Structure formats: structure tokens, C-alpha cells
Copies of this chain bind each other. A is one copy, B any other.
Amino acid sequence: MRHLTLAASIAVLAFAAASSASAEEGMWTFDNFPIARANQTLGTSIDQGFLDQVRLSSVKFGGCSAGIVSGEGLVMTNNHCVATCVANISTQATNYAETGFTPRAREEEVKCPGGTAEVLTGIADVTERMHKAGEGLSGAAFTQARDAEAGRIESEACGDATDKRCQVVSLYRGGQFKLYTYKKYTDIRLAFAPEDRAATFGGDLDNFSFPRFAIDAAFIRLYENDAPARTPTHFAWNASAPVEGTPVFVSGSPGATQRLLTQDQLMTVRDVVLPMDQLIASELRGRMIRYSEEGERQAFEAMDPIVSLENTYKRGLGRMRALTDPAFMATRAAGEADFRQKAGEATFNDLAAIQPAVRELYAPYALLEGGTGIGTTSVAGGSQLFLWARTLVRGAQERAKPSDQRLPEFADSRLSAARTALFAEKPVYPELEQIRMEWWLSKTREWLTVDSPYVRPLLGRESPEQLSARVVSGTKLADPAVRRALWEGGLAAIQASDDPMIQYLLLIQEPTRAIRTEWEEKVQAPTDRGSEALAKARFAAYGDAVYPDATGTLRLTYGKIEGSDVPGQRWGPFTTFAGLWDRATGAPPFDVAPKLLAAKDRIPADTVLDMTVSSDTIGGSSGSPVVNAKGEIVGANFDSTVLSQRNAYGYDRQVNRSVIVTTGAVTAALRDVYGMSGLVAELGVR
């Protein structure tokens, strides 16, 4: 079927939310990349060998992307992708965010707590098995049957292997299911990070904007058996000055897009999901900012959480603006109208009918369970102690059942990931944890109302302030040994525990599991079924000249080095170090990092620092290797723009720009600023 309807559909539609892709559009899977069309559009001649080499050199690193750049496991990603690692291995006295992390030898490379990295080694179609598993079922039974089948497929393929991971991936919102097999690394060490300010110059204010002056790059190294991993397939380093118009390919794991959502579904996101997510995040931001002003310790503790929160928040703002932009939404509606005409209105009715339930259940489900897939609100404000306790309590309860009857995150095939997260040795800051818990309980009570049946068991007769203080101050879960003992002790150990956080999680299992079941029953299952029907209609209308929504799995996109020329976004594609010196005021966040400033005279002022490309990326693409048509790495994707956030809902060629830190800038940092001669040699820089 491939490409049958391609020419026709490209001619018809310049904008392709729900239909087929326009030139340079698309976060394509590696088994359905439009090689011919990309070559035609870009004037390149890539082939299947290029795709294989790029795929095997690409790395999924936690929620980020990365690229292998040497034969000895060296990997480049963004500094903001290692920021939490840097925070975790720092103390207030030895703060690598301030100084940079610059080991002079491999022995000084330090393990990132809980870090994992994966390389995609195989893709197999399992659509038929997955569709069959759900046949004739509805509601929670449908969801559970499919989750169980996915777990079985994963276990069959990967067994107990510790260096592999198998994942059943839903593509086209259930239109296809693929089994992805990864080579997995669990010993990831930090090999280089610049001073934080060198990577974050301009802070939140310059985030999601351009011109940009940030060396947002860092290096990690993959280890196996306590030695650097052998990685014969890797990108060659090309640090030559970039040229406007050059074709580029960006290979990474974009997190999530909602392009295949119907307009009805999108109105729910606009009216309900984004407003709650953003409003409560804004309050947490306020609490954390004030906390960070209370002293140097507080500033140190809150730094990474605030950056992370502000990044998510600013992205959400961009999305709110996209969904309330009359012109953008009119174009998207026109795209859907074309599809409606081809597929028939009836195909859309089921998804429309679910929306009142989504509107009603989003707040309780997001607040009590998190992980809705459509919003950013997470349970307990991301309190690490709470989340560990939840893994321990649920893990114990679930492991007492057969694998195919468990919550899917505790299926046999996924226990290894749960353990890795649980046993990670990282610092915990009780005051921050308490701020998160208090804020979460307070916002949950506020949004669901004090008389809600969801809220009463959550708080009992305590206030959010009292409860959060009690459980955070009393828990011993900050100690990894305590967590390990509770995990290994199973349900008996959990039930016998007098840890107040464990007891609290036991107490709230009933209401939180109930809302999860209700969501599966009324929202998730009917949405999955409706989306599957829509996917079939879409294949029928447009063939597979469509690409699936991003799902946090490896994709390849293509485009050119190019500036922007639309209202609110007019600039050429490059910034230089000269621009950085010009923009600096000395007042944070516009202060140049000390070591970088000291190297000013050693870096040619016209060295290109950052650049923009037209490739189609989104959050999760951070750290993606940017590759030329010869397969050489020329930069790392690290950002896009506020206006580009519409990208979540539809591709807009005029607006969509990704922001890249160039290999030239990274080379200058390694060589001229931080004296990383070992890495420079390893990269083969002359």
C-alpha cells in the first residue's frame, strides 16, 4: 500500500493534522520513512543503509534523546537532559551545576543514579495479536486484556534478559502495534557537563525562543561490565561551520503529539486539560520560587525542579496559544473537514460522545493517579518519596498476582524498569518534598472540592499542611536500603511497615485505584476503540502516507537549516559567540558563566553557536542527533520556539523550527573553555 496515494494527497493538503503529510512534515518511524520523498524534497540520496546506521547510533536516554559519537560508548545529549543527574551527584559544597563537570580521565566519570539508555535494534508487527486480544471487549476489560497481551508479547520476546528491553508500542492511536526491541544499558556515567549557565544562558526567558545563545550539550558514556561499551556503529563528528539550506535529519524519541486527535478531543484539551495543568503548575512555581529565595540551601535544592517546572509550563503556554489562535485552529478544522468528508461523520461520533466524561474525570484522574496521557499534571506534585512509596505498595500488591492480571507497569516484562527507578541512589530534600505534597493535597482538595468522595479518604480530618508534614518528616524511604528491603520483603513487609508514607499509600489505594478503573472504563477504553476505528478510516483515506503521533519512541524527521520569517518569529538561522557577549547584562539569567567568559578570547567570535532547522520535533526530541546527508553529526536538537508549540496539534511549515546547538560550539566548549582534551581526541577533532 505504501505511497500509493502519496502524490495526490500532497497536492491537496498543505496542512495535515488529521490527513496525510506535507513536505518536511512528520516524525516517521524507521520502518516507514519516506526515503524517496525526503530525497526529492531535499535533493539528497539517502538509502536504507543510512537509516540503519542512524538508528543504531541513536539513543533513548530517559525522557531524552542522544547520539553515539565514538566507538567507546561516548554519547552526546543536551545539558538539560543531564541536569537532574548533575543535581543528584552534587552537594551544596560541590555543585557541578556551578563549576561544570569536567573529569580529566574516564575513571572520574560518575554514574547517573537511575540512568538508562537504549538503542533500538528491531521492529516487528504485532497488530493482529493486539487487535485480537481486545475483540468483543469493552470498558476496563478491554484495556486490561490488551495490557495483558502486551505484557505476554514482551515477555516472550525478551524473557529475563537484563541487557534487552521489549516494548509493545501503539502507533496511529491503536491503528498499529509494533514490538520494539532495544539493546539496554543501565550503567550510564556523566562524561562532561558545562557550567549550567553556559547551557542555560537567558534561563526561562530565552527558553523556547530564538535567537538563542546556549551551549546546551553534555556527554555521557555507556558502560557494560564496568568498562566503556563498544559501539562500533556511531556518528562521525563534523564540526565545520554550518551552511544555510543544508539538508538535515533529526533522529530521536519525541514524547507525544496530539495531531491525530479530533477537534472535539482537542476542545477538551483546550477547555479542561491545559487550564488545570497550567494554573496549578503556576502556583507550585510560585511556592518554589519563594522557597528558593529563603536561603542558599533552598536555592540549591530548588534549582533543578524550578527549571524543569518552568520548561513544562512554558511549553503549555505555547500550546494554550496554539489552541486559541483563530487562524491555526481554522486551518486544522479544514484538515479535519477533508477527512470527515472522506471517512463519513459517523466515524467521529464515538469520540465526540466520550468528551463529557473526559471533561468530568480529567481532574480527579490526573490529580489522584497522574499519567493521563493528555496532560502534564502528575500525582503528588512529583514527590519522590510518594512515588517510591507507591511503587513499593502497588508493586507488592501486584506481584502477588499472575503477571497478566497486574497493573501493566508491574507485568513481569516491566519489573526491571520499576526496580531501576526504585533503587536509584539519589538525594532527597525533605522541605521540597513537603512543598510538593502540600501543594498537591491542597490543589486536589480545591479542584475536586472538599466534599468530593475522592477527597475525603485522601485527607481524613487532617489539613494538607498537617498531613504532608507528618508523612514527609516521618518516612525513612529516603534511604535506598530501606526501599530495597521493603521491595524484597513483598506484601508482608509492606503491611507490617510503620513508615507513615507507606501507611498513607496503603490507605489511599482504594480511592486511587477506583478512579483509575473508572477512567479506563469511561475514557481510556472507548477512546482506544474509537481511535482505532478512526485510524482504519485514515488508512483507507490516505494510505500509509501518514505518520503516527509521537509516542516517546524513535523517529526520524527531515528538513533544512533555515531561519524564520513569520510575525513574531523573524530571524536568520544562526547565532554566534559574538551575539552571546552582546546579550549579556551580568544580571542572571543573562550572566555569562565564569569559565566561558574567561575563554572569550580563545573562541573566534563568529563561531556559530546555535541554529534553527525546519525539522519536525517536539519535547522528548531533546538531545536528538542532527545529522547531515552523509550521516555525520552536526548538532544536538535542544529546543524549539513558543510559536512552534502548535506542533503538538498540527504541523505548520512556516512556523515550525527546532533549535540546535552546533558541533562547532560544542567543540569550542570542550577544547577552548573546559580543556576536555581527552574527549576532543576521542571525537577525532583535528
B463, A588: Cβ atoms closer than 8 Å: yes
Contact residue among B272, B283, B324 (Cβ-Cβ distance under 8 Å from A283): B283
Number of interface residues of A (CB under 8 A): 43
Q: A320 CA to B278 CA in the complex, in Å?
A: 13
Within 8 Å by CB of A286, from B270, B284, B320, lies: B284
Shortest beta-carbon distance from A340 to chain B in Å: 19
Measured in the bound complex, the distance between the Cα atoms of B251 and A641 in whole Å is 51
**Is the C-beta of A53 less than 8 angstroms from some C-beta in chain B?**
no
Query: Distance (Å) between the CB of A459 and the closest chain B CB?
Result: 9
Across-interface contacts of A462 in B (CB, < 8 A): 587
A585–B460 CA distance with the chains assembled, in angstroms: 10
- Which residues of chain B are within 8 angstroms of A280 by Cβ–Cβ distance? 282
Stretch at the interface among A444-452, A531-539, A621-629, A667-675: A444-452
Q: Are B275 and A282 in contact (CB under 8 A)?
A: no
Judging by beta carbons under 8 Å apart, are B275 and A286 in contact? Answer: no
A466 at the interface (CB under 8 A from B): yes
Whether A108 sits at the interface, judged by CB under 8 Å, is no
Q: Does the CB pair B282–A205 fall under 8 Å?
A: no
Does A294 have its Cβ within 8 Å of any Cβ on chain B?
yes
User: Is A289 part of the contact surface with B, judged by Cβ < 8 Å?
Assistant: yes
A204, A280, A290 pick with most chain B CB within 10 angstroms: A290
Q: A272-B324, A275-B275, A461-B586 are in contact. Are A286 and B294 (CB under 8 A)?
A: no
Indicate if the CB atoms of A450 and B275 lie closer than 8 Å: no
- Return the contact of A206 from the options B317, B450, B588 (Cβ within 8 A): B450
Q: Is A209 within 8 A of B284, CB to CB? A: no
| Residues of B with C-beta under 8 A to A324 | 270-272, 275
Asked whether any CB of chain B lies closer than 8 Å to the CB of A291, the reply is: yes
Kindly name the residue among A209, A279, A288, A294 whose own CB sees the greatest number of chain B CB atoms within 10 A: A279
What's the least CB distance linking A466 to chain B, in Å? 6
A289 (CB) vs chain B CBs: closest residue: B287
Q: Are B290 and A450 in contact (CB under 8 A)?
A: no
Closest Cβ of chain B: how far from A579's Cβ, in Å? 13
**B587 near A446 (CB under 8 angstroms)?**
no
At the interface, yes or no: A285 with Cβ under 8 Å from chain B? yes
What B residues does A585 contact at CB under 8 A? Answer: 461
Q: Kindly list chain B residues whose C-beta atoms are within 8 Å of the C-beta of A278.
A: 275, 279
Q: Is the pair B290, A286 in contact by a Cβ cutoff of 8 Å?
A: yes
CA A293 to CA B469, docked complex, whole Å: 12
Additional A-B contacts beyond A275-B275, A279-B279 (12; CB < 8 A):
A205-B445, A205-B446, A205-B450, A206-B450, A270-B324, A272-B324, A275-B324, A282-B283, A287-B287, A290-B291, A293-B465, A462-B587
16 contacts between A and B (CB under 8 A): A205-B445, A275-B278, A275-B320, A275-B324, A278-B279, A279-B279, A282-B282, A283-B289, A286-B286, A286-B287, A286-B288, A286-B439, A287-B287, A290-B290, A290-B291, A463-B588
